[in-house]
Structure 1
Amino acid sequence: MSKVVISEFMDEAAIAAELSGFEVVYDPGLVDRPEALVAALAGADGLIVRNRTQLRGDLLARAPDLKVVGRLGVGLDNIDVEACRTRGIAVYPATGANDGAVAEYVVACALLLLRGAYGASVEVAAGTWPRNALMGREIAGKRLGLLGFGAIARETARRAAALGMAIAAYDPYCAPEDAVWRPAHGPVARVTLDALIADSDVLSLHVPLTDATRGLIDAAAIARMPRDAVLINAARGGIVDEAAVAAALRSGHLGGAALDVFAQEPLDGQGGAVFAGVPNLILTPHIAGVTRESNVRVSAVTARAVRRHLAER
């Protein structure tokens, strides 16, 4: 009987439906107990993770029987994919299963940060009636810049276009003749990286964390963004200089920012201190792609891929 270890939270109905007949070790707390995770991986044929389990180096070496890894999401920066390939370990991300959830998050953050009125409940309830201070901006007519134009960015573009935004994107891996630049909702402007940064009212990041993208949106890049622009990062921590974002918000150069991912995760009190008292900022705990609905989809897709791979061997 094949053994599958699941080290982070997952939809339990998907486990029951897709992994019946396997020996399943499901403990979402394993990610925070390294030695317990190593012990659980003894004799394990499969491992299912989210983004916090770092499957590389010693942990990978101590799972000698591993044949397949399921990733509850799409980013693979927490998995040594090359080492897995060398050992013949298949890696299956849940491609497409949470695209809509992330796209909704990006558009919702853009609406919240541009309008600016939605955080006024305390003041209104207290009778201060801060109406003149809360005259925000409409999303219609604003330019959305998408750094990276993969599946999630395209879903974001479709939703944003329906709200009247103009869409531009930079992605060196999408050829100029590619049909992705001519979707049904209207053409997407293919621009240079410099133009995207300089001309976007809302800049949303949709790239993996690589040597090329690490620190890409630093203080210099933020300084080139239009005054009052909004920055949204629901991609990967490390792409954005978090201290530079905080400084730009304090100075008033940026009109708002939403960060769902951080260079250090989980963000602790020391790491979060840089954001203390920063205005027009939304911080969320790497949750953009996780909704009740997407968790069901991601879990089912991942468990099914792991089951199929082990059944075929």
Structure 2
Amino acid sequence: MPSCLVVQPIHPSGIRKLEAAGIEVRRASCADMATVAQEITGCAAVITRNAGLDTAAITAASSLRVIANHGIGTNKIDVAHATGLSIPIVFTPFANAWSVAEHAVMLMLAVGKRLLPSDQAVRGGNWDYRYQPGLQELRGKTLGVVGFGTIGRMTAEIAGRGFGMQVVVHSPAADPAAITAAGARACASLHELLRTADVVSLHRPSRPDTRHLINAATLDVMKRSAILVNTARADLVDTAALAEALRRGGIAGAGIDVFDQEPVPAGQALLGLPNVVLTPHTAGSTDEALQETADQCADQIIEVLAGRRPPHLVNGAVWDARRLPT
């Protein structure tokens, strides 16, 4: 019976699928890589979430035939090392996309409507808070979408159809015709988008060329009334520069779901600011999205172990030379 190590908790539906297919499920006692490296021995498959899978853990897994990434980003998996060992990596590029898009729009609303200070005002008996200016509508505002993959497109759709927002897009890899067909306008540069947008929503992957797309210089380009939302990758934003812009009123507010260090350490610059809404990397964690993501991980593991090519391979070039059972 092949076994699968589950590094971090997943929806029970995925566990049931694996067990129904005759795959033994082992749960890691801890998600740190030193523990995983000890407990992955003998496993044919592994499912990991934001803990990733490092070089040592992959090396220790001499029987490993497939790595399943619970989500989209694979930056915490040593993809190059796994590829060098001919281990296929599967992922779930669409399973939580709508959940993340909804979360991005929720953050826009929460920041624009000053949801958290309003809640605190009611709890503190400060009914006069309602007379303070600065609450914003989304209707008629311009949304700047940075990155026009699945989640960026869905966010644009919700904002455009649901709130009547005008959408502008900067996405170097996107077909301009596809942007136009979606009812949006393509911006040739990030600076053009930042100058134009009332709300900026980030949807780029983590790569060397996208690190700190939002920094002190680009924040200065944005409108003072603008809102920044990041549900994508933490390193797209220079956190210190963002905190300073929020502190001095360089932009109106921000909604952030991803962080350089998770959990966020005490004293992190954003924690004490009233014009930022923070969520603990939960954009893709609705019950619906978690079930779909776990199911897709399980289904693809079952396919690989049965010798069938799965639909979502990160490193498809290894398939024909993939590691086989010994």
TM-score w.r.t. length of structure 2: 0.88
Distance (Å, rounded) in 1 between the aligned partners of 2:203 and 2:84 = 28
1:109-120 equivalence runs, <5 A: 109-117=107-115, 119-120=117-118
Q: 1:63 to 1:208 in 2, by over 3 A?
A: same
1:194 is aligned, of 187, 191, 202, to 191
Select which of 251, 272, 275 maps to 1:277.
272
1:16 aligns with 2:16: yes
Q: State the Cα distance separating 1:2 from its structure 2 match.
A: 1.2
1:26-105 equivalent positions in 2, closer than 5 A: 26-27=27-28, 29-32=29-32, 34-53=33-52, 55-105=53-103
Residue 258 of structure 1: which of 252, 255, 258 is its match? 255
1:17-59 deviation per Cα after TM superposition (whole angstroms, max 9, x unaligned): 23431121023x5213x33312211111111001123x23222
Contact residue 43 and residue 61 of structure 2 kept, 8 A: yes
Which residue of 213, 222, 228 corresponds with 2:219?
222
Cα distance in 1 between the residues matched to 2:147 and 2:211: 14
- Matched with 2:293 is 298
1:308 partnered with 2:306: no
Residues 117, 61 of structure 1: CA spacing in aligned structure 2 closer, same or farther, 3 A cutoff? closer
CA spacing shift, 1:7–1:164, aligned 2, 3 Å: same
Structure with bigger RCO (C-alpha 8 Å, 6+ apart): 2
CA contact (8 A) 1:70 1:91 kept: yes
Q: Which amino acid aligns with 1:7?
A: V
Mapped to 2, the partners of 1:302 and 1:108 lie a distance apart of: 27
Q: What is the RMSD of the two structures over their aligned residues, measured on CA atoms?
A: 1.7
**CA offset at residue 136 of structure 1?**
1.0
For 1:263 and 1:298, locate their aligned partners in 2 and report how far apart those are by CA, in whole Å.
24
Per the alignment, residue 242 of structure 1 pairs with: 239
**How many angstroms apart in 2 are the aligned matches of 1:213 and 1:118?**
30
- Give 1:124 deviation, angstroms: 3.0
Report the CA distance shift for 1:296/1:131 in structure 2 as closer, same or farther (over 3 A).
same
Residues 234, 260 of structure 1: 8 Å contact kept: yes
Distance 1:220 1:66 in 2: 45
Q: By how many angstroms is 1:266 displaced?
A: 2.4
Q: How far apart, CA to CA, are the structure 2 residues paired with 1:104 and 1:59?
A: 35
- Separation (CA, whole Å) in 1 of partners of 2:113 and 2:145: 20
Letter in 1 for 2:23: F
Distance 1:127 1:174 in 2: 48
Identical-residue share of aligned pairs (%): 33
Change in CA separation of 1:298 and 1:176 when aligned onto 2, cut-off 3 Å: same
Alpha-carbon displacement from aligned partner over 1:173-229 (angstroms, at most 9, x marks no partner): 11334x34302xx24434422211221111111011111011221111111111121
Alignment partner, residue 149 of structure 1? 148
Gap regions ≥5 residues in structure 1: none
CA contact (8 A) 1:168 1:191 kept: no
TM-score (norm 1): 0.92
Would you identify which runs of 4 or more consecutive aligned residues in structure 1 move more than 3 Å?
Answer: 187-191
> What residue identity is the alignment partner of 2:189?
T
**1:204 aligned onto 2:201:** yes
Q: Check conservation: 1:147, 1:203, Cα contact below 8 A.
A: yes
Partner of 1:289: 284
CA contact (8 A) 2:253 2:276 kept: yes
Judge which range, 132-141 or 157-166, deviates more.
132-141
Alpha-carbon displacement from aligned partner over 1:78-110 (angstroms, at most 9, x marks no partner):
112222222111111112100010000111111
SS at match of 1:65: coil
Q: Conserved in 1, the CA contact under 8 Å of 2:40 and 2:57?
A: no
Distance 2:36 2:83 in 1: 22
Q: Which amino acid aligns with 1:280?
A: N
Contact 2:37 2:58 in 1 (8 A): no
Question: What's the CA shift for 1:15?
Answer: 0.8
CA distance in 2, matches of 1:49, 1:38: 13
After superposing the two structures, state which structure 1 stretch, 41-50 or 79-88, moved more: 79-88
TM-aligned CA deviation for residue 167 of structure 1: 0.6
Q: Unaligned regions of 5+ residues in structure 2, if any?
A: 308-323
Alignment coverage as a number of residue pairs:
305
Give a deviation string over 1:54-77, Cα, whole Å, max 9, x none.
Answer: x23222211222111111100111
Once residues 4 and 172 of structure 2 are traced to their aligned partners in structure 1, the CA distance between those partners, rounded to angstroms, is 38
